[in-house]
Chain A
């Protein structure tokens, strides 16, 4: 009997723990949702009215928006969460977070279903995997969805009608690398030229590259081609031409695992790595391991924190360029979702959802780094954001009837190093 009692006690304890954790969660999530109870009132999908009729500003409804990130934590994710939370009161939005996977459609669908079950009115999603079934779920539950940091290229090329033409998909702000709007190769080339101008005595004349697989980031391959083309054009008139090693399938395509040290034997003469793939996580550790971080420079996308110790003239000076997407670019899907939830639309809103390339914060010098270190991306302080909560509210069609879609697109173009306060 003792044993039986023990076992029931164990069940009871597990139950109590679950309920208490649930209670903690629900008390938090109830914040700001008490008001008008908008979950179902405006979710018919037909409630959008012409902006012409929408001449008076309207107070936004309380709502909940789920954000499905690509990872749970990290500088960019933490900063984005901090930025969103800072806007919670002004926008009357409660944010909920979850993490998606890069490889399992069914797991992503389950995560989205959990968000919908938890009562979200809209979802911002950073992953294009299983989107057709996710859109079907959103349609069934009358929940709107938008994209962030993702070009939705799989859906764009193979399921455009199901995803981009769905009235539940509001569009996406990609991380500056839409395959049909590639600029990253030119940006990398410009950074290299800028470095050489600053270092005329020891310019970089031989570079190699690194990319993620084309199935995951087709724009990186296109960016690499663009970079090579820019160098070839430059070499026509340059006094000191630059040599670019062609991409080597074996060593230069990083399958989301750290670069192999054989890279350096394949590119024995390289003076700099132009990494379109996230170099801080996948290239730099290998450079340190191979002991080449003092000799080879790194130009790369991403900033995970810690790069500043070896950036520009600091430390080993390995990093000579970092490129990131501003966290404020999340305002694009956020504003479009809020409009949908509040039943309004911009007068110049396109009929079909779009994918818009966000401008990039390019850090080329010590001065740029100092500026970047004052951005919300780095400080995680919402007060450092380029756009305040009031600015974002003003971008919506319900709070500001004269707001336009063109303005929202312009916002994405104004998220550069020069725009940081």
Chain B
């Protein structure tokens, strides 16, 4: 091989073949041997002898040849690698220089991609945590919850204790089944004690979870035996904060509600099975007594670990047959429409959130596609303005692939930059999600940065950038682009430019279609939200301020203590200037309330299992503007010693006393279909109260409710009520509530004070969550579409300056030029809008569950958002159109 050829190979980076390398080595060694032979022959050796001698002097020919060949191949490999790296580095340098020359372009692409990818990443992040990996335990997919299902209602994630016990003893599909019930207690001495949340748990809980205690031991059989010394297992957070993560804690004593417990162990930080306000502080053994087993209340969380390999069908079958056996054995414990359900963590605690998050993930997919379309649009526009640069490079010998590679490299850089920005943005916005879903399931602890989410984000952002780069690179370098060198870009592009405009028109149409779908969704959610806001719950919101108390001192289980406290607070409040009226209630509107079975006295069939039960102070109804429709209100004279009275709601009266006046009738409270073994005092109905929507503003029908006087409610309904005042000034109200409570009992923990309007607003947090997210996505979509339409229209105008100048020279008026440009700019958007309208009509069905008072195809919402989109399209093309109308005909024509 000649030196020249060899160098050419280097210059053109032609790959060296193994064959050639082998030949080279062989040639070099052969030259040596041949030279030696000739030399020896000159000295008089015969050819044969000379060849033998040369070989001898050379040594082991085969080994040396192999060694040299191996070295040559190795060094060749290294050289090509170096060349390749150099090539990539050159591309990177070239691409970054080229981007640096147009920082606005780079910034717009990065911001657009970041918004598109970041939104999806944030939602994906939340979804991943809540749905895919909610429980931090081994084989967590085998952990399920046993729940109760009433008719067609959504099942609740708890069961009555007797049912748990039966399933625990008889099931065949669970490896282990455990139950727990949470409680509030005072940790430490009475006066300086800290309120904590704990759970009593049955024996196998740790086995179900597959969790191991961090220190000491979990609860074992002997802790459950009668007369066993009381032991407690501490939660990680309590151990870390209150006991300074003391490793010698095991065996020490703690005081809970006045009783002493010996600490058996400490739970790991990941321990998490139920939704409670704060992590469980302490775990105690739960022993079910025979009277517990009779309890009908579904208040026990039952959690089980399925045996390895059992199918969903087997589980369903076994649970159903077991429930049949349970019903036969304890018919009195099973009610009509009563059933069991096997549920996942997510189904119990996050069903609403999960379905919303899926919808939102779908919405972010649209935002993402829209961002991609927009980036493609921008990159395409830039590629068109660079046709001359490309043409020059092509003329100098750069192939099409080289130019596409350059575009790809630029997109890769932009994609990587966007990934970094999107990851940061999703982390930041996830905090916002938590704030938005306040009171809902999303918790900070579930939203740690997960490497998998980052990986997915990176893949999506980079892949999207590369696809855009490839498509745009190929499209922009379609045949004919070299002609750009000849003459101006405009004249060369006469044929091509309409094709280019067409491609960009398609992108704009796509953007409008996607934006239309998102806007329709947002429009429907916003009108739903407004509809709910307009719902009249039937109670007053303005000027009402509430104070909720939790964890009263232990002596409040004595009704007398609690009653005295209530009286003192109310007296103090009523004496405060600025307070118009004051009252107390066991249940604030829109908060979870109590329900109890009721039976009409003498009519055991006139009975229901769950009547809403409201215990309030006399005067509360008047203060809340809740009218009495018949009879009288509760009065100060209805005290513990006087005959018990009750008010019933319209719905209750209609159901149990149809066509007759309920006044004077008697109701047994706490009794289902009569009370054969107990004799509660019948309560006389003295009035009828208007129906409320106080469980939720969205409830379809008012619930049947009974109202009793707080002092006659009896039992441990609520050891301390919430106080409510009506006042014109929020500051006066809250300081009055705070002071009255502190003065009545200094031991009381400070109240949680909220305006009624805030309670209403908090009850809508779900709705606000989806509405705000969807509105953000729609706003984003609108902005991106606007940028897209503007970009295309502006480019078209800049390309057609001469044509417009000509038209104007020939007498076209500026108005008609504006109309022309606007029409051309808005047409693809309008076409996209029609497509998007069809798509939206089909897709908004998924929102059905989130809508209120508006159908998924609400014509008004659709028409409104369509007009908004059209308006934006016209406005976006109006700016370039106005510039077109200002074209100076003479100047434009001279420029040619």
A binds B: no
B contacts, CB < 8 Å to A: none
